[in-house]
């Protein structure tokens, strides 16, 4: 029995989910495919496939053999490609692990372009937020939003992101803005399960000093999108990377908390086991990702300093307008106010809204004082005097 051919037939049957489809892919007859699988089962002394007229499933031994045979066949294809002058493009299966939110938002749009460029590479992408063991779990490449994992792994930087503390305007309007890191202890916070420091949040002030605050998290989640949804619903304060919440900050649906403090920047890395030979398919994937991101993907490079300066400029402009305004209207996501003979528009920030309400209340009191009382009130006062 040609064991390498038997391995190839077995892997094709499993991947194509049928003997007939495997025979078409291998350009042979279904009888030959059946014969190879039967001989392989007889040689190993165990059943590999559970077969009925309608279904095909792997046994426990079959699952183990399939994973190993797939790896062997990929190595064979790569070896042939290295020594064959005719084969110029990488081939084989490439297993990639990436975080869920980042994988959906930034990596998924790239895969069609990659497969068009390298049609010989079969992608197997697993989105998992926990830090996986690349070697033990059989991954060729892992995209990490931190340097977590064994230090022996090699890594190449794709981009830099920034974690930001933020909450919804509704929550901050209801509870108030924290002014120093210690205030976070009195707020409802939403924790990230895989955070390296747990519920101890570390913030850096303008002088570079780190402030560690142990917060009281009423909710934990292992997924950034879940934390973002909770924050948008006014459930509390979160810290998440700008690639996930950047659009919300720009739209004003989330507002930065403690803008004078920052969280450490984080690198987005492509990691792979350094002890293994860097295959051609891993090398071209890394080069592809570096070129696609260019160091700072869209929405990832928005730093805390830029958001703080934008907010200070907006607050300064709104303060000047509000002091001179005579009329206010809240319209959609903005405030329309009349300054002199013209109308001006401002975004609804918490500070601007509070200033507008205070100014409107002051104007109402001034108008009530300056206007004469209505005739009914005048007659009541005259009757009391007599």
pLDDT at 112 > cutoff 90: yes
pLDDT score of 111 more than 90: yes
What is the structure's pLDDT at 233?
92
Q: What is the pLDDT of residue 361?
A: 62
The whole-number average pLDDT for the span 72-98 is 72
Residue-wise pLDDT for 281-305, tens only, equals 888 899 899 888 875 544 444 333 3
CA 281 – CA 283 distance, rounded (Å): 5
Name the phi and psi angles at 165, rounded to 5: -85, 130
pLDDT for the residue numbered 147 = 52
- Return all residues near 206 (Cβ < 8 A) that are at least 6 apart: 260
Average pLDDT over residues 331-339: 50
Q: What is the mean pLDDT of the chain?
A: 76
| CA proximity to 356, closest of 329, 381, 386 | 329
Judged against a pLDDT cut of 50, whether residue 313 lies above it is answered with: no
Q: Is the pLDDT of residue 114 over 90?
A: yes
> What percent of the chain lies above the pLDDT cut of 90?
13
- pLDDT band at residue 185 using 50, 70 and 90 as cut-offs: confident
Neighbours of 47 (CB within 10 A): 13
Weakest-pLDDT range from 114-118, 209-213, 372-376: 372-376
For 209, counting Cβ atoms within 10 Å of its Cβ (0-12 exposed, 13-18 middle, 19+ buried), the class is exposed
- List of residues 6+ apart from 45 with CB closer than 8 A: none
Give residue 358's pLDDT: 61
Q: For residue 210, count other CB atoms closer than 10 A to its CB.
A: 11
pLDDT band for position 238 (cuts 50, 70, 90): very high
- Would you list the DSSP string of 207-255? TS-EEEEE--EEEEES-HHHHHHHHHTT--BEEEEHHHHHHHHHHTSSE
Assess contact for 204 and 264: CB atoms under 8 A: yes
pLDDT in tens, 62-82: 888 888 888 888 777 766 665
CA–CA–CA angle 26, 30, 35 (5° rounding):
100
Task: Please give the pLDDT value at position 171.
Answer: 92
277 against 351, higher pLDDT: 277
CA distance 46 to 65: 11
Beta strands in the chain (DSSP E): 49-51, 56-58, 92-98, 121-127, 141-144, 154-167, 189-192, 200-204, 210-214, 217-221, 238-241, 255-256, 265-272, 325-331, 334-339, 342-347
- Tell me which DSSP letter residue 188 carries: -
pLDDT at 115: 92
* Spatial CB neighbours of 75, under 8 Å, sequence gap ≥ 6: 92
**Nearest to residue 48, comparing CAs of 136, 39, 73?**
39
Instruction: List, for residues 7-53, the tens digit of each pLDDT value.
Output: 888 988 888 888 888 888 888 888 888 888 888 888 888 888 888 77
Q: What integer pLDDT is reported at residue 278 of this predicted model?
A: 73
pLDDT tens, residue by residue, 151-184: 557 888 888 888 889 999 999 989 888 888 888 8
Query: How would residue 125 be classed by pLDDT, with cut points 50, 70 and 90?
Result: very high
**pLDDT tens sequence across 343-379:** 555 554 445 555 555 656 655 665 555 555 555 555 5
CA distance 82 to 99: 32
Classify strands 210-214 and 200-204 as parallel, antiparallel or unpaired. antiparallel
């Amino acid at each position: 029995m040609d064991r390498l051919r038997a391995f190839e037939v077995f892997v094709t049957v499993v991947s194509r989910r049928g003997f007939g489809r495997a025979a078409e892919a291998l350009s042979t007859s279904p009888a030959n495919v059946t014969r190879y699988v039967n001989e392989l089962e007889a040689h190993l002394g165990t059943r590999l496939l559970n077969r009925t007229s309608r279904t095909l499933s792997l046994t426990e031994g079959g699952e183990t053999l399939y994973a190993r045979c797939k790896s062997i066949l990929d190595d064979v294809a790569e070896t042939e490609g290295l020594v064959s002058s005719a084969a110029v493009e990488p081939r084989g299966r490439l297993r990639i692990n990436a975080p869920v939110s980042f994988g959906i938002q930034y990596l998924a749009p790239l895969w069609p372009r990659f497969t068009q460029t390298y049609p010989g590479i079969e992608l197997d992408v697993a989105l998992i937020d926990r830090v996986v063991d690349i070697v033990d779990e059989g991954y060729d490449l892992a995209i990490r939003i931190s340097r977590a994992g064994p230090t022996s792994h090699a890594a190449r930087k794709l981009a830099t992101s920034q974690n930001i503390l933020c909450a919804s305007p509704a929550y901050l309007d209801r509870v108030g803005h924290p002014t120093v890191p210690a205030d976070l202890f009195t707020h409802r916070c939403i924790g990230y399960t895989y955070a390296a420091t747990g519920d101890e949040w570390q913030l850096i002030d303008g002088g570079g000093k780190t402030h560690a605050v142990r917060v009281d998290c009423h909710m934990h989640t292992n997924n950034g999108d879940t934390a973002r949804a909770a924050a948008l619903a006014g459930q509390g304060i979160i810290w998440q990377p700008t690639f996930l919440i950047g659009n919300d900050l720009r739209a004003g649906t989330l507002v930065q908390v403690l803008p004078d403090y920052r969280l450490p920047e984080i690198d987005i890395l492509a990691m792979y086991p350094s002890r293994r030979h860097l295959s051609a398919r891993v090398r071209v994937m890394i080069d592809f990702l570096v070129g696609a991101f260019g160091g700072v993907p869209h929405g990832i490079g928005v730093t805390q300093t830029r958001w703080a300066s934008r907010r200070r400029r907006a607050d300064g402009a709104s303060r000047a307008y509000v002091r001179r305004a005579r009329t206010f209207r809240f319209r959609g996501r903005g405030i329309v106010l009349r300054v002199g003979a013209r109308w001006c528009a401002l975004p609804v920030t918490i500070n601007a809204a509070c200033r507008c309400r205070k100014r409107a209340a002051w104007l109402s009191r001034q108008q009530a004082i300056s206007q004469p009382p209505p005739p009914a009130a005048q007659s009541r006062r005259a009757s009391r005097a007599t």
